[in-house]
């Protein structure tokens, strides 16, 4: 019978590209940094000679990128990071409940709730604050797990 080899997923690479889980995480981390360096504004339709083009809400892009990073790492969270994520999710759910109104917004559990335009805008601004808190927690988590080692900045 042949011996079975187990591969460490942290150090597995695809071909010669060196495409590891850490590479994926750091690419997403860099993407979040790029999204954070633009002016946050709501989405809108831009009229062109060929029709209308939707320009996405940069706040939602930033928040979604942070959520994606959190989803990638959630199976590796330590107690501190789990607590941060649970607090952010709880606050977001409470915000959705508190801001019920005229327009619809898809909640965390997939349900739709009514929201008015003012509440929708307030929700996005507050969600941005929660996303930033989650990102800071994720950055600390990555640092604790030596994903973000940079010798020159260490104390």
Pairs from 130-134 (Cβ < 8 Å, separation ≥ 24): 130/88, 130/91, 130/92, 130/95, 131/62, 131/63, 131/66, 131/67, 131/88, 133/84, 133/88, 134/66, 134/67, 134/70, 134/84, 134/85, 134/88
Closest by CA position to 145, among listed 78, 75, 87, 67? 78
> pLDDT per residue over 73-131, tens digit each?
999 999 999 999 999 999 998 888 877 655 555 655 556 555 566 677 788 889 999 99
> Is the pLDDT reported for residue 65 higher than 90?
yes
Least confident piece of the model among 4-18, 35-49, 138-152: 4-18
Structure tokens at 60: 């939602």
| Predicted pLDDT at 154 | 45
| Predicted pLDDT at 20 | 87
CA 135 to CA 141: how far, in whole Å?
A: 10
**Percent residues over pLDDT 90 in the chain:** 54
pTM for the full model? 0.75
In terms of pLDDT, which residue wins out, 120 or 52? 52
Q: How confident is the model at residue 59 (pLDDT cuts 50, 70, 90)?
A: very high
CA 81 to CA 88: how far, in whole Å?
A: 11
Q: Which backbone phi and psi does 48 adopt, to 5 degrees?
A: -130, 170
CB–CB of 97/111 below 8 Å? no
The domain ranges of the chain are 21-145
In terms of pLDDT, which residue wins out, 96 or 151? 96
Q: How confident is the model at residue 153 (pLDDT cuts 50, 70, 90)?
A: very low
| Predicted pLDDT at 147 | 86
């Amino acid at each position: 019978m042949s011996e079975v080899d187990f591969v460490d997923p942290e150090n597995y690479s695809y071909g010669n590209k060196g495409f590891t889980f850490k590479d994926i995480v750091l690419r997403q981390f860099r993407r979040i940094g790029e999204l954070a360096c633009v002016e946050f504004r709501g989405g809108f339709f831009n009229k062109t000679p060929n029709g209308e083009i939707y320009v996405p809400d940069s706040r939602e892009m930033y928040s979604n990128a942070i959520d994606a990073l959190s989803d990638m790492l959630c199976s590796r969270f330590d107690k501190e990071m789990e607590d941060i994520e649970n607090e952010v999710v709880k606050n977001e759910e409470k915000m959705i409940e508190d801001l019920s109104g005229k327009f619809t917004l898809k909640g965390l559990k997939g349900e739709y709730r009514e929201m008015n335009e003012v509440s929708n805008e307030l929700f996005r601004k507050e969600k941005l604050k929660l996303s930033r808190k989650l990102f800071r927690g994720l950055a600390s988590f990555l640092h604790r797990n030596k994903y973000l080692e940079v010798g020159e900045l260490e104390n």
